Structures are given as structure tokens and as C-alpha cells.
Structure 1
């Protein structure tokens, strides 16, 4: 078997989701089928790429080496494929394709809905990204047509030539607690009450969210003691298991074992934005995309009882 582009996407999907099951779902494959493909890929490359642990699939040292190459190669391949597709479309070839990106936020569905309404024949593909900065770079270099991104007050995303960053909505950050935590019985908690907690937080990235959180805590005379660096399901399991608390977007939906509560005084905020290229194919639809993204956020805000109560007590929020 020869190594193919799709094999590189499989490797990156497993690393990105941290799970063969979630990677299979994202790629539209069965879990056994994906496992079999991974075994063949590892045979071709000459070694195991992932270690299977109770927390999920973790890259081996060899796997990290392969991933660094795959992540460097795939954007160039995507750009080549996009240019080829555009040239074919201009010559009467295949229909248009829109490439979307998103950080962890509830707006992507609204963006896809808007595109399907205005371009019913288009092929729409998407991918997630932990940080907003690479997504903005991808739009600047023509690797994406639009993206859902976000930033923090005082740590706004840096503008890139040709990239439009349009605010959609600003929402508070809440705290996710183990359901059995004493503070979970409170309607809201204070930063003082959270000062001695162990925290689970995503790894620091170019968005500087961790820096914003830590600075906010320091301004109150406390230190945010992050003892677990995790995201996604692993972060949730750490909270659910009572090992840590974590910050979350106000639209985060409570799941069994986890309670979401506002922080008194609303000291922490998160701003959702849409990004597209000023000269790109979606520029004429910019206001429409923002409208649908805002609708998606409003729908998400109704699914969290804590956020519904917060909005009731803070008329006029969230604000673009």
C-alpha cells in the first residue's frame, strides 16, 4: 500500500480529536474501518503512531514526527486542490466548494445554513481548530473562505491584510464545576471562592486566552492554578471526576456530572467573530453570514438554563 493524502488526513483527524471513535465520525468512517486503515498506515510508515490509553489516542514520539510533517504538507495540498477546483469551475467544471474553519463555538451551524441557502449546489467542508490565529492566517492565504473565531478583551486578534474580522456577539465566561461541588448549589460564584481550586485549561496558544484569564485572576489578588492542561472530552472528564474546575463559554450546555455557573460581577468575557477575505467569494454575503451566526448563538443561549437566567438578570446582553 502506498501512502496517500487521505492517510495524512486520517492521522491528523485522530490527533485532533484524541479518539479513533470521534475521528471516524468526523471522517464518515466506521470505527473498525478506521482502525484497520491506521494499522495499514503504521505498517507502511514503519512504527506505531498512537498509544491507546483510557483517555484516548495519544501520539507516540514517532507519531509526533509524522504529524509535524503531515500538518505542514496538508495546507499546501488543500491550496493546490482549491486552485484546481476554481480553475475547473471557471471552465464549466465542478460546482463551487467552500472551506470553513471554526474554533470551539456554537456558530458554525448557522454559517453552513446561510451558505446552503445562498449556494444550494456548493460543496461545503469544515474543520475545527483549537486556536483562532491559524484560522485567520488560512483565510489570509486563501486556504479557507470563512471561519468562526474568537478573542478576549485586551487580547484582540491581530488584523491581517485583506481579512475582515466582524464581531457577532460577546458573551460572559462561566465556570464548569463538578456537579457535587459545594459551589454548584449556588446560583453564581465569585473569583474569591474559586481562588483555591485546581484548574483544567487548554494549552496556551497564540490567542492568549490563558494569559487573559491569569491576568484577570491576578488583578483580584489570586493565582489561577492550572494543574491539568487538557481540552475537549478529557477536560470534561477531569471536571466531572472532581479533579478540577474550568472556565467555559456561557453557551456551554450542562452535561451529566457537570454544573455550569456564572461568575459574580462577570469579570471574564469572550467575543465571537466571523472572518472572511475582503476579496473572497463570500465577501458579498458577509452581513448575511453574521446574521445567521448570531441566530445560531441565540439558539445556543436558550439551551443553557444558567445562561438564560443570566440574560434575564442582565438585559441587553450579549452585545455585538
Structure 2
């Protein structure tokens, strides 16, 4: 008589259980080999036998011997289990590789650190043959690439009150929290000051980079001015910082990251008093990629590079020295 049963759903765990019972000769010893309890092995075997409709082991006190059906199943799966184990191992290595891929993809917003990222990655992982950097000033588009494993490392920025939404699989570390500097024409009455209060610029004409990537910072700037008692008059909206510098030379006031000092004869850079308009540089990576094993080294390298670069910007270096002395 032929037994009928629903679709058999054997999985690797089933095969490991019956293999362990056969190899050890008892359910209790199989449980020790598998690192589980004896009742768990017994329950798993019972479910499998009920599903197949056959008894697989003759159980007596302290021992278990395969039945003819059990021996048939063991013979048929003897070569299958190692292959399944190898398949799972290969998948795990692809998902959580122990080392980096040949080509590491970096996504980054514009900053003084971007140019250093390829050399930092290859210094930490000499086996990497190539580093590809994708620039995009929309951090909200970059972080999903890390979550989807379409990139390995990311460098983004955010602002207090406008923090980025971090995907669940992505870890981050703050590289630096830096102030925002103002750009003034060299003959501006405030150009001789060491630092400038934002309120002193309430009646000035401002130039702002107005592409969509700057929308968050523009709102952040407007809200900050409102808290200081005024609404900024933005008379020039430009699409690049290079154009903004030309407008500053002509008399407007602009904003800049402190490391990105234009060092232009017609422009001076000054910090805003009180650390107004701070921004954060954030390193990001997917915790299930090779980076997770050495993230501390990567963070240290990026932080060290940031502060070394900061020292090459004279106004920023002087600002840091004054801040340290206070």
C-alpha cells in the first residue's frame, strides 16, 4: 500500500538532525552534538516522521537505530547535506564577506574629505584593486545605496534639527561637528573682525546656492536667522559655490564650510560667533559588510584626515586654536 502525504518540506535542519542521530546512535548524544536540548531533537524527529508518514528510527532506552526507511533517507541525503552546507556558506560569505570586494564603492556629498577617501580605503584594505566614488549632494539618496549594498562606505552631512533618517542596516559615526563660516568682500566693515555675530548681518544681502541639494541647509539657515530675530534677504540664488564667490566679491554675504577657505584676495572668511549653524560630517556603512569588522580603524583614519586638513585652512586653524584656549 502506498502512503500519501502532502508536499514534503525537508530543510537543512531536518537533515542535520537525522544525520546526528544516526552518527551518535541516540537522541541525547545527537542533542549534545547539535548544541540543543534532547526534547528539541525528539520533537523535531517526531515532526519529520509525521510529515513523511514513516518511522525513521527504532528507539529503545538510550539508543536509536535507523529503520529501513531511515537508512534510505540517510543514503539519499548523504551527499546532499555537505552540498547544502557549502551553498549556505557561499551565500553567507557573499552577504557578510570576511574581506572587501575587488572594487569598493564610496558614496559622498561634497566636502574636503572626498578626495582622500580612495587612499584611505586602499591603505586599510591593500587587497582592494579599485575605489569608485559617487558624488551626490542629496544624502537622502546615498544612504539607501548603503542599505541596499550598492555601496560599501558613505560620507554625508546633516544639521541639528534636520538629522538624516538612517536605514536600519546602516551604522554611522560622527567624524566632526564643524561651524559655518561667512564669506565677506575684503572691504566690508566687518572684515577686520575676528568673528561675527549673525545678528550683525541682518541688513546684508545674501547669496545662497539654490539647487535642490541645498534645500535642507537653506531652511536650516532661514530658521536659524529667525531665532536670531530677522529674516535674511537673499538677493542672489546661484547654482554653484564658484558663482557664489563672484557674487561675494561684488558685495554680498555668503556661507562656507571652514575647511573650504577660498583663500581669495577679494574675499575674507570669518567664523560666526557662538558656533552658529553647526553641521556634522557623518561616516556611514552597512553593518553586514566587510567594513563592520574594521570600522574603528576607518573612523580613526577619516577623523585624523579631517583634522589634518583643517589645519591647512588658516582661518579655521586659528579658530580652533582660540577655541582650545578657552
Q: What TM-score bracket applies, with the shorter chain setting the length?
A: 0.5 to 0.7
Instruction: Report 1:265-280 matches (<5 A).
Output: 265-280=274-289
Match of 1:212 among 216, 220, 224: 220
Instruction: Report 1:104-253 matches (<5 A).
Output: 104-120=110-126, 121-203=128-210, 204-205=212-213, 208-230=216-238, 231-242=240-251, 244-253=252-261
- Aligned residue for 1:314, secondary structure, equals helix
Pairwise CA distance, 1:293: 1.1
Pairwise CA distance, 1:316: 8.4
**Structure-2 separation of matches of 1:101 and 1:229:** 27
Judge conservation of contact 1:173–1:249 (CA < 8 Å) in 2. yes
CA 1:206/1:213 → structure 2, altered by over 3 Å: closer, same or farther? Answer: closer
**Structure-1 separation of matches of 2:188 and 2:176:** 30
**Structure-2 separation of matches of 1:215 and 1:191:** 12
Judge conservation of contact 1:149–1:272 (CA < 8 Å) in 2. yes
Corresponding residue for 1:38?
A: none
Corresponding residue for 1:15?
A: none
**Structure-2 separation of matches of 1:132 and 1:237:** 27
Corresponding residue for 1:100?
A: 106
Judge conservation of contact 1:157–1:207 (CA < 8 Å) in 2. no
**Structure-1 separation of matches of 2:214 and 2:180:** 19
Corresponding residue for 1:285?
A: 294
Judge conservation of contact 1:113–1:292 (CA < 8 Å) in 2. no
CA 1:281/1:232 → structure 2, altered by over 3 Å: closer, same or farther? Answer: farther
**Structure-1 separation of matches of 2:129 and 2:106:** 13
- Aligned residue for 1:184, secondary structure, equals coil
Aligned length: 225
**Structure-2 separation of matches of 1:199 and 1:175:** 10
Pairwise CA distance, 1:110: 4.0
Judge conservation of contact 1:131–1:207 (CA < 8 Å) in 2. no
Give the structure-1-normalised TM-score: 0.65
Unaligned runs of 5+ in 1: 1-85
Corresponding residue for 1:312?
A: 321
Judge conservation of contact 1:110–1:292 (CA < 8 Å) in 2. no
Cα RMSD (Å) of the superposition? 2.3
CA 1:303/1:118 → structure 2, altered by over 3 Å: closer, same or farther? Answer: closer
Task: Compare 107-116 and 148-157 and name the one that shifted more.
Answer: 107-116
Pairwise CA distance, 1:206: 7.8
**Structure-2 separation of matches of 1:289 and 1:158:** 22
Give the structure-2-normalised TM-score: 0.64
CA 1:128/1:145 → structure 2, altered by over 3 Å: closer, same or farther? Answer: same
Judge conservation of contact 2:178–2:279 (CA < 8 Å) in 1. yes
CA 1:206/1:158 → structure 2, altered by over 3 Å: closer, same or farther? Answer: farther
CA 1:280/1:207 → structure 2, altered by over 3 Å: closer, same or farther? Answer: farther
- Structure with max Cα Rg: 2
